[in-house]
């Protein structure tokens, strides 16, 4: 976790790490879905996403448990996914 003073520097210089990760994810997904890339390329990119997902899961497991609050997060996520599906 980045110390607050580093976060302040990031924000002051426009280096928001969340948006950097979101941009990387969006670019990677666009490349995977691109009809101009072959299976070898897209397979490697999807593997990168899989390894990133595994890293996040492994790190998440080391965090403290917030019990019912986390259950509410899951309910909210499920609700939003179902709502999104029904809006289509």
Higher-confidence position of 45 and 22: 45
Cβ proximity of 16 and 10 under 8 Å: yes
Residue 6 has pLDDT above 60, yes or no: no
**Which whole number is the average pLDDT over 62-70?**
93
Confidence of residue 59 (pLDDT cuts 50, 70, 90): very high
Residue 27 has pLDDT above 70, yes or no: yes
């Amino acid at each position: 976790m980045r110390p607050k003073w580093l976060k302040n520097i990031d924000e002051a210089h426009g280096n928001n790490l969340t948006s950097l990760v979101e941009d990387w994810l969006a670019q990677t997904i666009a490349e995977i879905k691109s009809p101009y890339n072959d299976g070898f390329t897209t397979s490697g990119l999807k593997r990168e996403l899989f390894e990133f997902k595994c890293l996040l899961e492994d790190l998440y497991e080391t965090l403290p448990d917030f019990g019912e609050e986390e259950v509410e997060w899951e309910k909210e996520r499920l609700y939003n996914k179902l709502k999104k599906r029904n809006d289509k």
